[in-house]
Amino acid sequence: QVQLAESGGGLVQAGVSLRLSCSASRLTFSSYCMAWFRQAPGKEREFVAAINWSDGNTYYPDSVKGRFTISRDNAKNTVYLQMNSLKPEDTAVYYCAAKGRSTYYTDPRWYEYWGQGTQVTVSS
């Protein structure tokens, strides 16, 4: 079965950078739109970034645009999220998600596969 495994989370101070990785197995990775979401306690799951499978275009909400960068390495079946200038409000569990042969969606319900998540905590 398909597996997505996130790594790279941790406890950091505001202003520093962190890079998350999501390794995928048992799927044709290059044919999947990959996305990152996050969920803070008591809040809904929030779209953070996505990268298309066909053209590599990337998408971000205003809350992270200019600070976060999503990228993918199809040879390694891995998607990354580079997070710079972290803020306390970025604290959440970060999840990667996959949707086959599709454009991106900001609604998490459209995604077929999910990882277990990695905790990112940013202290002030």
Note the pLDDT tens digit of each residue in 7-55: 999 999 999 999 999 999 999 999 999 999 999 999 999 999 999 998 8
Note the pLDDT tens digit of each residue in 56-100: 999 999 999 999 999 999 999 999 999 999 999 999 999 999 999
Residue 4's CB is within 10 A of a number of other CB atoms, namely 23
Q: Residue 45 — φ and ψ, nearest 5°?
A: -70, 130
Q: Report whether 113 contacts 100 (CB < 8 A).
A: no
The neighbouring-strand residues paired with 113 are: 98
- Euclidean distance between CA atoms 123 and 113, whole angstroms: 30
The neighbouring-strand residues paired with 121 are: 11
- Euclidean distance between CA atoms 2 and 74, whole angstroms: 16
Does the structure show a pLDDT above 90 at 102? no
